[in-house]
Structure 1
Amino acid sequence: MKIIYDPVADAAYIYLQSDPNQYSHMVALDPQAAGGMINFDYDTEGLLLGIEVLGAKRLLHPDLLSEGLESGAAVVE
């Protein structure tokens, strides 16, 4: 698992597969139920590739966001 975090956009992406198959589709979680925007990305075989979290500061633990910054992810400023 790998996480990247962009503090300017306050968006995080959690990669669940290191060698994902081809992207197929996205399913959005109900923003009211989740308290923010969370999108699930699936591959062509129906396996979960990753999770996009918008408004990440509200929804993810600060340690996880720090890990996303330290992972060498491209941070847009």
Structure 2
Amino acid sequence: MKMRVTYDVKAGMVYVYLVDAIAPGEAVRQVIAGEDMAAVLDFDADGWLLGVELSTSRLHPDLLAVAQQIG
């Protein structure tokens, strides 16, 4: 699987997918990690980590340059 990274410019957030796709409602549990909501981990009902949402303020510009812009 090729890692997919999306970048929501308006929200100032990047999402790193750890699976090919996340169906609506599949992420049933979110865990906030870090100070000031620096990261939100999304888990499915079986406890598998689906993806990670990160604040762009803490990311290297090179990652933002290759991310798919969605907003």
Identify whether the pair has TM-score above 0.5, normalized to the shorter chain. yes
- 2:28 match: secondary structure: strand
CA deviations over 1:8-60 (Å, ceiling 9, x no partner): 2211111111044722200001316xxx5210000111111011112x1x311
Scaled by the length of structure 2, the TM-score of the pair is 0.76
Q: Distance in 2 between matches of 1:20 and 1:4?
A: 13
- Which residue in the other structure is 2:38 paired with? 37
Residue correspondence of structure 1 range 2-41 to structure 2 within 5 A: 2-20=4-22, 22-31=26-35, 37-41=38-42
Unaligned runs of 5+ in 2: none
Question: After TM superposition, which residue ranges in structure 1, 4 or more long, deviate above 6 angstroms?
Answer: none
Count of residue pairs brought into register by the alignment: 67
> Once the 2 structures are TM-superposed, how far is the Cα of residue 61 of structure 1 from its aligned partner?
1.4
2:46 & 2:62 partners in 1: Cα distance?
32
Question: Contact 1:5 / 1:65 at 8 angstroms: preserved in 2?
Answer: yes
Q: Output the aligned Cα RMSD.
A: 1.9
Identity %: 31
The residue identity in structure 2 corresponding to 1:61 is H
